[in-house]
Amino acid sequence: MTRQYFGTDGIRGTVGQPPITPDFVLRLAHAVGRVLKRTDARPTVLIGKDTRISGYMLESALESGFNSAGVDVVLLGPLPTPGVAYLTRAQRASLGVVISASHNAFEDNGIKFFSAQGTKLPDNWESDVEAVLATDPIWVDSANLGRSRRLDDAAGRYIEFCKSTFANNLTLKGLRIVVDAAHGAAYQIAPKVFHELGAEVVSIGCAPDGLNINKGVGATHPEALVEAVKTHRADMGVALDGDADRLQLVDAQGRLYNGDELLYLMVDDRLRRQESVPGVVGTLMTNMAVEVALKARGVAFVRAKVGDRYVLEELEKHQWLLGGEGSGHLLALDKHSTGDGLISALQVLQTVVRSGQSLSELLREVSLFPQTLINVRLKPGQDWKASTRLESETRAVETELGDSGRVLIRASGTEPLVRVMVEARDSVQAKTCAQRIAQTLIDKADD
């Protein structure tokens, strides 16, 4: 069955426009409740949210929809997405629900779900929900309605969980850390985690007003963190996105480190402690320098499609623990069942504290390859995959690059564009090769 509402990470859109309307969200919760009751006579669902003003409205709609299907609800209040995943597992709940549009602006919102094990749900579960959505609701009678309550210490429980992933014999004492929570779900939690582990904390992006989530701050706008680290002469800066599953780090010199580099550091810490790291999963966009550095240390590397759910699928397939994306979605499956910005930050900080070295020193063997990305707009009906010129030029570039670069050509999922990316040790070569490949598509579009 083709899914009508679910995308790669739940259901997302502009508030007030289908499907992010209170009537649809109520029906969605009712449908999910009916699916849950196929295997659980009295399900319990946890609901968390970020700081968007629309979260109150959608929370009420979800609560009503679940109750109307005979499902009990536990309201968590503002909590990072990975915090909801953790508590769903810890509380032995049937399902976790997050109201968030992650790194999007406040005008958007979304609904995503976690299984009882704190993992993302499979496509066939989403298809089952959509099939029920297409039928008339079946309201339970008054005696069988679900009940609702609040878990008042949800934030405190999650804080303790995050801290438990940091080595007991280590401390962050002596470090001044700027924490940027993007005015999002971790605005209270993130500063407390680092403070309680001993750091001196300077907070920015921790004053949500319902309308300012991700606005000029957070992992998608790290320039605010860079400036704050310099201003406060901090040792480190930590930036999360609106729902705190994405991470960016900044060092004392104001140098920004992306998810590819942070993934390598998580591996490096384990290798230094002589732990086994048989393999790592990145994505099609992971910088080749990381792949080369990992293989040089005997660590296998596999690329998944772009998207943290695909990284997770590959990790489970190979039974590996570490993976991630350049955007800062990082997975350490022996620490948490899903990507967690706070826990990932703590794993990298462990490396810094244990080694006594800075991020730049730890990464001196990893010099990211320059990447050139060119977007080519297609004309209507243009079959770019059938271009023999494109195929020939791509092969010529790959031959020229050899083992010192790579080519990635992929269609945009949202626009009539083809993205041409070339990565090479030399920036001029990367740019020239990308232009050669892109020109074959441009010429075709101009025909």
Enzyme catalytic residues: 102
C-beta of residue 331 within 8 angstroms of C-beta of residue 339? yes
Q: Is 73 exposed, middle or buried, given 0-12, 13-18 or 19+ CB atoms closer than 10 A?
A: buried
Query: At a CB cut-off of 8 Å and minimum separation 6, what does 233 contact?
Result: 176, 252
Query: What residue ranges in 252-290 does DSSP mark as E strands?
Result: 256-257, 279-283
What is the SS3 assignment for 341?
Answer: helix
Q: Going by DSSP bridges, is the β-strand pair 108-114/405-411 parallel, antiparallel, or unpaired?
A: unpaired
The b-or-e profile of 180-191 (16+ CB within 10 A means b, else e) is bbbbbbbbbbbb
Q: Going by DSSP bridges, is the β-strand pair 176-180/247-251 parallel, antiparallel, or unpaired?
A: unpaired
- DSSP states of 388-438 as a string? HHHHHHHHHHHHHHGGGEEEEEEE-SSSSEEEEEEEESSHHHHHHHHHHHH
d(CA 164, CA 167): 7
Question: Tokens standing for 431?
Answer: 């740019």
Nearest to 138 by CA among 202, 85, 68: 68
C-beta of residue 31 within 8 angstroms of C-beta of residue 129? yes
- Distance from first CA to last CA of the chain, Å, rounded? 38
* 123-133 vs 22-36: helix crossing angle, rounded to 10: 120
Count of CB atoms situated within 10 Å of the CB of 46:
27
Query: At a CB cut-off of 8 Å and minimum separation 6, what does 153 contact?
Result: none
Nearest to 267 by CA among 348, 373, 148: 348
Name the strands in the sheet holding 108-114, side by side, starting at the edge strand that comes first in the sequence. Answer: 11-14, 108-114, 95-99, 44-49, 72-78, 148-150
Question: Tokens standing for 201?
Answer: 């904390």
Q: Is 351 exposed, middle or buried, given 0-12, 13-18 or 19+ CB atoms closer than 10 A?
A: buried
